[in-house]
Amino acid sequence: RLVFLVYMFDIEAIGELLRHPHRILITTHQNPDADAMGSSLGLAGYLRQKGHSVLVITPTDYPQNLAWMPGNDEVLAFDEKQRTQVEALIAEADTIFCLDFSALDRIRDLGPMVRQARARKVMIDHHLEPENFADLAYWDTKAAATAQLIFKLIEQLGDGALIDADVAACLYAGLMTDTGSFRHSNTTPEVHRIAAALLERGIDVSQIHRLIFDGVSLDKLRLLGYILNEKLRVLPQYKFAYITLSVDELRRFRSRTGDTEGIVNYALSVEGVVAAAILIDRGEEIRLSFRSVGDFSVRDLVHTHFNGGGHKNAAGGRSRLSLADTEAKLLTILPEYQTELAGV
């Protein structure tokens, strides 16, 4: 198997670019998670202190449990009604930061707008699947989180002192969630050193954890109960477990953005299971979310069969087949991986 690591650090050029105040847009991937929002708002807070005019635009809305982050009031979540306004903002920006994604098909309708924009584009990311649309990059596929890269970039630009408690809270949220609360294999000594540095800025880690993980709606808990009782399928011969969710089921539990986040981890937590998936019918397409432990690469599986990517132990993709046909396809490809799964 081809294993390639990518890194690119255009620090001096990024510093040069930021020397004079100008109009900066920050965008991140669709259905933003805590790393997407945390790295975007952390960078925005820093750049505002440097005198830039900064706006964060997300391609879709994002879950309520991320709305506490400092700077949230200045986020514009794209929807069709603001198309003209957003097109103008993107066309007029001097610099566009693209955070936590590395291919423009991850930002939906914003993709073509960003591609055509005259702005200098800076990608800061830790995913594979490079598309080379950016002029500059701060990119490391070994980083646990984009928030980690934002922290390092600010420090390397000589501005570590500008990481105040607000910026630190945003970055900590991204670092904490992308490492699964500091338990995934991407939790390196550097991750803990950065977490420690963020704590020294006076953040309340217990409060951040509660804001993100507690305050779960009753609807979401009931959906989880239903899934665990009736929808979780375990295939011991493949050490694999998966869940499917139809449009109808999502409607029945009044599911909102983010309500299905993290549910795949319950499938992965089943005794003996080394890889897991959740297949969700989003109407226009089926979204697939994969997780694994150890050396089994769900990124390779998704990349080969489900039009997506991500990381070795966490990847996502999509399918244009029906939910039933996507499930059938998954079941036909599993034997291909049986030997590899057995070895984990």
Binding positions for Mn ion, rule: CB under 5 A: 35, 100, 146, 178
In single-letter form, the type of residue at position 322 comes to S
Task: Name which of 32 and 45 has its Cβ closer to ligand 5GP.
Answer: 32
Nearer to Mn ion, 101 or 238 (CB): 101
Number of Cβ within 10 Å of residue 167's Cβ equals 28
Length of the chain counted residue by residue? 344
- Which option in Mn ion, ligand 5GP, none does residue 38 bind, with CB closer than 5 to 8 A by kind? none
Q: Which does 35 bind (CB under 5 to 8 A by kind): Mn ion, ligand 5GP, none?
A: Mn ion
- Quick check: helix, strand or coil at residue 296? coil
Cβ nearer to ligand 5GP, comparing 45 with 310: 310
CA angle 124, 128, 130 (to 5 degrees): 70
Nearer to ligand 5GP, 127 or 220 (CB): 127
Minimum distance from CB of 29 to ligand 5GP (Å)?
6
Beta-strand runs (E) in the chain: 7-9, 23-28, 53-58, 75-77, 95-99, 120-125, 136-140, 233-235, 240-245, 275-281, 286-292, 309-310, 314-319
> Within a 10 A sphere around the Cβ of 3, how many other Cβ atoms?
7
Shortest reach from residue 125's CB to Mn ion, in Å:
8
Q: Report the partner that residue 309 touches, choosing among Mn ion, ligand 5GP, none (CB closer than 5 to 8 A by kind).
A: ligand 5GP
Distance of closest approach, residue 198 Cβ to ligand 5GP, in angstroms: 21
| Residue 184 binds which of Mn ion, ligand 5GP, none (CB < 5-8 A, kind-dependent) | none
- The interface partner of residue 316, options being ligand 5GP, Mn ion, none and the CB cut-off 5 to 8 Å by kind, is ligand 5GP
**Which one of Mn ion, ligand 5GP, none interacts with residue 121, CB within 5 to 8 A by kind?**
none
CB of 124 to Mn ion, least distance (A): 10
Nearest approach in angstroms of CB 150 to Mn ion is 11
Choose among 49, 53, 72, 55: nearest CA to 160. 49
Closer to Mn ion by CB, 178 or 327: give it.
178
Q: For the stretch 45-82, what's the b/e string if a residue is b when 16 or more beta carbons lie within 10 angstroms of its beta carbon?
A: bbbbbbebebbbbbbbbbbebbeebbbeeebeebeeee
Angle at 100 between CA 99 and CA 106, to 5 degrees: 95
The strands making up 75-77's β-sheet, listed across from edge to edge, are: 7-9, 136-140, 120-125, 95-99, 23-28, 53-58, 75-77
State the nearest-atom distance from the C-beta of 304 to Mn ion, in Å: 22
* Host H or E run for residue 229: none
CA dihedral of 111, 307, 300, 291, whole degrees rounded to 10: 90
Least distance in Å: CB of 84 to Mn ion? Answer: 31
Residue 129 binding partner per list Mn ion, ligand 5GP, none, with a CB distance cut-off of 5 to 8 Å that depends on partner kind: ligand 5GP
What's the min distance (Å) between Cβ of 100 and ligand 5GP? 7
Q: Pick one of Mn ion, ligand 5GP, none as the site partner of residue 59 (Cβ within 5 to 8 A by kind).
A: none
Kindly tell me which of 18 and 34 has the beta carbon lying closer to ligand 5GP: 34
Pairing of strands 7-9, 286-292: unpaired
Q: CB 324: neighbour CB atoms within 10 A?
A: 13
Q: Residues interacting with ligand 5GP, by CB under 6 A?
A: 29, 127, 129, 289, 308-311, 314-318
Task: Rank residues 134 and 330 by Cβ distance to Mn ion and give the closer one.
Answer: 134
Q: Token pair for residue 320? A: 């244009």
Residue 47 or 315: the one with the smaller Cβ distance to ligand 5GP is 315
- Whole-number minimum distance, CB 85 to Mn ion, in Å? 28
Residue 49 or 187 with smaller CB distance to ligand 5GP = 187
